[in-house]
Amino acid sequence: MKKVVWGVLSTARIGIEKVIPAMQKSAWCDLRAIASRSQPSARKAADALRIPVAYGSYEALLADPAIEAVYNPLPNHLHVALTLAAARAGKHVLCEKPIALSADEARRLQAVPAGVRVMEAFMVRFHPQWLRARELVRQGRVGTLRAVQVFFSFFNADPGNIRNQAAIGGGGLYDLGCYPIVGSRFLFEGEPRRAVALVDRDPAFGTDRMTSALVDFGEGRQLGFTVSTQCVPYQRVQICGTRGRIEIQIPFNAPQGGAMRILLDDGTSLDGASIATETLPACDQYTLQGEAFSRAVRGFFSFFNADPGNIRNQAAIGGGGLYDLGCYPIVGSRFLFEGEPRRAVALVDRDPAFGTDRMTSALVDFGEGRQLGFTVSTQCVPYQRVQICGTRGRIEIQIPFNAPQGGAMRILLDDGTSLDGASIATETLPACDQYTLQGEAFSRAVRGEIELPYGVEDAVANMRVIDALFRSEKSGRWEEV
């Protein structure tokens, strides 16, 4: 086996700190040269990483006949131009994501010379946790795969950071949104048909600082995700089917060289008792990615109920997931935001026999950058969770809707300083029965002891949102609430 000789275009942080050291561990990769726009910068990086050759221009590296493959971690707006230049010089190219700023721009790379290989650097596709998740899906361990839900965020308000510069491809959708998209294509093993998004832009930077999206893969398969560059650091992937759920806890920034866990839940319990943990061997996804490319060069709220006699499955009398389950995230978000939504859009999958909505994913815009995203299903593994995310912290309610009657409950508060759970504080609340508390409050209002907490106007406000979502199902676009 002969190693592939690599050159690196730029001294970008991701290359210096993560990708280059990882590839240097591989028996397939020989990191021979690095280039920068200045010789001193290239020399400094080369010395720090023990790379033999330093070039003061990208052109000089591409002219080196010893270089067989190039790693391109340049700013997003330079990806296509330098990838094409490298390919025309006969170099194979591993290009950082996003490989382009549009599909049309990416299509330019289809014109690379014959025999030259180009790949977008989505390292997660090589990590055992993603491979194992897909294997479990293929084995039918979750039943029929229905929904993928993703949250991915960090906080970065530095005006000098390239992620906050719109002119050169900054923003959350380019930097983070590509991951749930590529991950869901990987898991569904198919291509999406349509998409809709709710985007909040930073008024100073012009970049999308929070984007929530729904992506329709057809045949009742849905992706829902939220990504943000100005929210508490957090990432999670939920893979939900008719008979099980897989959770990837650190799906994108898996610790280099660390063992990872995935959770498999058969949905028989909401308190975590039905969750099995699978620990995967320690690895470095960047090493695996570089190795694979070199070798190529060388040769949410849900339950399951399909009973036709159940009233939840009878459309004529108000059955379906949005009426039965969707009302909860709507009323919950109105409660938390302490305001009313402006518009909503939905992706609805209906049971062909019952006519009811068996899975609905929705985005609801509360204005001022505040967004609700939810998926509800009547034919998916039983699961419920609420994530409340802000710029400096995250609250998780683990059994938000069917809290055990008379049982103590926990909420989790995470300041985002660690992705492995070390920054999570747990608060245990006294045992209670929410139905008792509800009955007491209403009875006291009847007796005039307190004001009625939620009257008819509140119910009307909730139904306005549900009405808008059903209109959106038919129109295929945003509907005013």
> Is a pLDDT exceeding 70 seen at residue 374?
yes
Average pLDDT over residues 440-459: 84
pLDDT interval class at 432 (50, 70, 90): confident
pLDDT interval class at 178 (50, 70, 90): very high
How confident is the model at residue 56, as a pLDDT? 98
CA max distance for the chain: 88
Burial class (CB in 10 A: 0-12, 13-18, 19+), 7: buried
Average pLDDT over residues 166-188: 95
Contact 144, 239 (CB under 8 A): no
> Is a pLDDT exceeding 70 seen at residue 299?
no
> Is a pLDDT exceeding 80 seen at residue 101?
yes
How confident is the model at residue 57, as a pLDDT? 98
Q: Helix %, strand %, coil % for the chain, to 5?
A: 35, 30, 35
What is residue 60's DSSP assignment? H
Average pLDDT over residues 12-37: 95
Average pLDDT over residues 97-104: 92
pLDDT interval class at 294 (50, 70, 90): very high
pLDDT interval class at 304 (50, 70, 90): confident
Structure tokens at 125: 């596709």
> Is a pLDDT exceeding 80 seen at residue 300?
no
Residue-wise pLDDT for 214-231, tens only, equals 999 999 999 999 999 999
How confident is the model at residue 1, as a pLDDT? 67
Average pLDDT over residues 227-250: 97
pLDDT interval class at 455 (50, 70, 90): confident
Query: What are residue 226's phi and psi, to 5 degrees?
Result: -130, 130
How confident is the model at residue 238, as a pLDDT? 97
For residue 455, list its beta bridge partners.
Answer: none
Distance CA 171, CA 173 (A): 6
How confident is the model at residue 436, as a pLDDT? 87
Q: Could you give the domains of the chain? A: 4-121 (3.40.50.720), 125-430 (3.30.360.10)
Contact 430, 437 (CB under 8 A): no
For residue 183, list its beta bridge partners.
Answer: none
> Which one is predicted more confidently, 452 or 478?
478
In one-letter notation, the amino acid at residue 121 is A
How confident is the model at residue 420, as a pLDDT? 87
189-to-110, 120, 137 alpha-carbon distances in Å = 22, 17, 10
> Is a pLDDT exceeding 80 seen at residue 64?
yes
Residue-wise pLDDT for 249-282, tens only, equals 999 999 988 889 999 999 999 988 999 999 998 9
Indicate the range of 50-59, 193-202, 432-441, 462-471 predicted with least confidence.
432-441
Share of residues in the chain with pLDDT > 90 (%)? 81
Structure tokens at 164: 């906050």
Contact 249, 236 (CB under 8 A): yes
Residue-wise pLDDT for 326-363, tens only, equals 998 999 999 999 999 999 999 999 999 999 999 999 99
- Mean pLDDT, the chain, rounded, equals 93
